[in-house]
């Protein structure tokens, strides 16, 4: 019914698969202990972003990698979850009820829009569906910018979160009333906020893994490989594609909620920007479409490059100050040029993405 080579049985352990698992596990362990390994604010921000975007990229991989659905509306669902939580937190104050109510509202809106887009558009050819989703995302971006009374417009919304997540909150105190430290790091509200993001992201990623390893995942791959054959075998292709579109939208909305709680700010540029959609697509392509673990690798690599490539180039430019031309080429202002070169090299040497190529070389195909 379908070519299962891209998602082989768990019993077929190969060298490539072990390498991918090891890379994903190392990234996961680093994220688990990030607050204790990297104590500066910037590093914790990067770690939290990686957690959220792993979920976002993995949910997009469920669409494009496993089902063959090309959508440009994924950030729209991400934004709905974030704005739902942000609007509720702004109106009701920084409480758990606001997060629950706002998150439920954002998820409900994502479900309705995903259902409408799926039912009305998934019957058409892929390019036309992609254009419909692009138009929907653009409309949502305009609405978020124009309805300033509700969304804060271009300025966005600033709000408070539960007291548990405030930096001044002491999670554990000693006999003298001072905050307890673990490995020299104070156990405060910032740690609680990070592990709130980390643990829910981990649960959502596990949920997506369960989907792709279930019979539903096999049907989705069959639809991707040969839609007409899947239809002939009795599978209602539009129903399955709509269902997976809704599932991906729900997970993206939950990722948006986590991002909103972590940032304590939500605006069009932070959750609805088309640049975010491009980043998600690049992360999935770099990691490897249809591998799920590739999302972990792609997000980590892309995020580190975006945040630290300029710093590396600045050090390299200083170290080669006496070499002709090279310092100018390594000027930190040209970091996008080198990011593009890095992407081209990755695509050249890993044509199926890092995870996908390693699995093929490991003997899976």
For residue range 239-290, list pLDDT tens digits in order.
Answer: 888 899 999 999 999 999 999 999 999 999 999 999 999 999 999 999 999 8
Q: Mean pLDDT highest for which of 127-131, 173-177, 192-196, 220-224?
A: 192-196
Q: If we measure between CA atoms, which residue out of 243, 234, 328, 284 comes closest to residue 53?
A: 284
In the numeric block, which tokens belong to residue 328?
């100018």
pLDDT at 189: 85
| Residue 13 or residue 295, greater confidence | 295
Using the predicted structure, report yes or no on whether residue 11 has a pLDDT greater than 60.
no
Q: Count the Cβ atoms, other than its own, within 10 Å of residue 124.
A: 12
CA–CA distance, 295 with 9 (Å, rounded to integer)? 20
Cα dihedral sign for 197, 257, 41, 30? positive
Q: Please state, in angstroms and as integers, the Cα–Cα distance from residue 285 to each residue in 17, 206, 280, 299, following that order.
A: 18, 21, 9, 10
CA proximity to 300, closest of 260, 354, 352: 354
The pLDDT confidence band at residue 30, using thresholds 50, 70 and 90, is very high
Which of residues 355 and 174 earns the better pLDDT score?
355
pLDDT score, position 201: 96
Q: What is the mean pLDDT of residues 10-27?
A: 82
Give the model confidence (pLDDT) of 193-214 as tens digits.
Answer: 999 999 999 999 999 999 999 8
- Could you tell me the pTM of the whole model? 0.90
User: What is the pLDDT confidence band of residue 29, given thresholds at 50, 70 and 90?
Assistant: very high
Residues 6+ apart with CB under 8 A from 104: 84
Largest CA distance in the chain: 72
Give the confidence band of 362 by pLDDT, cuts at 50, 70, 90. Answer: low
Q: What confidence score (pLDDT) does residue 187 get?
A: 81
- Predicted confidence band of residue 39 (pLDDT cuts 50, 70, 90): confident
By DSSP bridging, strand 265-266 and strand 185-186 are: unpaired
242 Cβ partners below 8 Å, 6+ apart? 114, 115, 118, 119, 122
In this structure, what are the phi and psi dihedrals at residue 356, rounded to the nearest 5 degrees?
-65, -40
* Residue with the larger pLDDT of the pair 170 and 44: 44
Q: What is the pLDDT of residues 45-101, one digit of tens each?
A: 999 999 999 999 999 999 998 888 888 999 999 999 999 999 999 999 888 999 999
Look at residue 5 and tell me whether its pLDDT is greater than 80: no
Q: Does the structure show a pLDDT above 80 at 122? A: no
**Angle, alpha carbons 49-109-248 (nearest 5°):** 50
Question: CA angle, 13 as apex, 10 and 16 as ends, to 5°?
Answer: 120
Average pLDDT, the chain: 86
- Higher pLDDT, residue 30 or 38: 30
- Asked if pLDDT for residue 176 goes beyond 80, the answer is no
180, pLDDT greater than 50: yes
CATH number listed for the domain at residues 4-364: 1.10.3470
Under the banding of pLDDT at 50, 70 and 90, the label for residue 1 is: very low
Q: Please state, in angstroms and rounded to a whole number, the distance separating the CA atoms of residues 114 and 73.
A: 9
pLDDT above 70 as % of the chain: 92
């Amino acid at each position: 019914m379908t070519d299962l080579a891209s998602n082989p049985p768990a019993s077929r352990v190969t060298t490539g698969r072990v390498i991918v698992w090891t890379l994903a596990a190392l990234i996961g362990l680093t994220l688990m202990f990030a607050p204790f390994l990297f104590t500066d604010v910037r590093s914790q921000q990067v770690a939290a972003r990686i957690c959220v975007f792993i979920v976002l990229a993995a949910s997009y991989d469920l669409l494009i990698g496993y089902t063959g659905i090309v959508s440009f509306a994924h950030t729209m669902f991400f934004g709905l979850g974030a704005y739902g939580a942000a609007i509720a937190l702004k109106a009701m104050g920084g409480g758990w009820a606001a997060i629950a109510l706002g998150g439920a509202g954002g998820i409900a809106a994502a479900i309705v829009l995903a259902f409408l887009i799926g039912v009305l558009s998934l019957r058409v050819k892929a390019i036309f569906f992609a254009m419909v989703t692009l138009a929907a995302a653009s409309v949502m971006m305009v609405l978020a910018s124009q309805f300033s009374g509700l969304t804060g417009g271009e300025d966005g919304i600033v709000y408070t979160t539960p007291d548990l997540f405030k930096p001044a909150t002491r999670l554990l105190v000693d006999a003298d009333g001072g905050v307890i430290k673990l490995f020299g790091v104070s156990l405060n509200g910032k740690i609680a906020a990070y592990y709130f993001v980390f643990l829910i992201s981990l649960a959502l990623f596990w949920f997506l893994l369960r989907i792709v390893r279930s019979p539903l995942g096999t049907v989705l791959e069959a639809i991707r490989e040969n839609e007409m054959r899947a239809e002939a075998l009795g599978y209602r292709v539009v129903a399955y594609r709509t269902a997976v579109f809704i599932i991906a939208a729900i997970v993206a909305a939950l990722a948006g909620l986590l991002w909103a709680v972590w940032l304590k700010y939500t605006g069009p540029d932070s959750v609805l920007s088309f640049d975010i959609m491009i980043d998600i697509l690049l992360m999935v392509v770099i990691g490897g479409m249809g591998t799920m673990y590739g999302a972990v690798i792609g997000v980590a690599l892309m995020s580190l490059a975006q945040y630290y490539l300029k710093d590396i180039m600045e050090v390299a430019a200083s170290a080669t100050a006496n070499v002709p031309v090279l310092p100018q080429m390594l000027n930190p202002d040209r970091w996008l040029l080198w990011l593009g070169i890095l992407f081209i090299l990755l695509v050249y040497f890993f044509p199926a993405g890092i995870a996908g190529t390693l699995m093929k070389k490991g003997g899976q195909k």
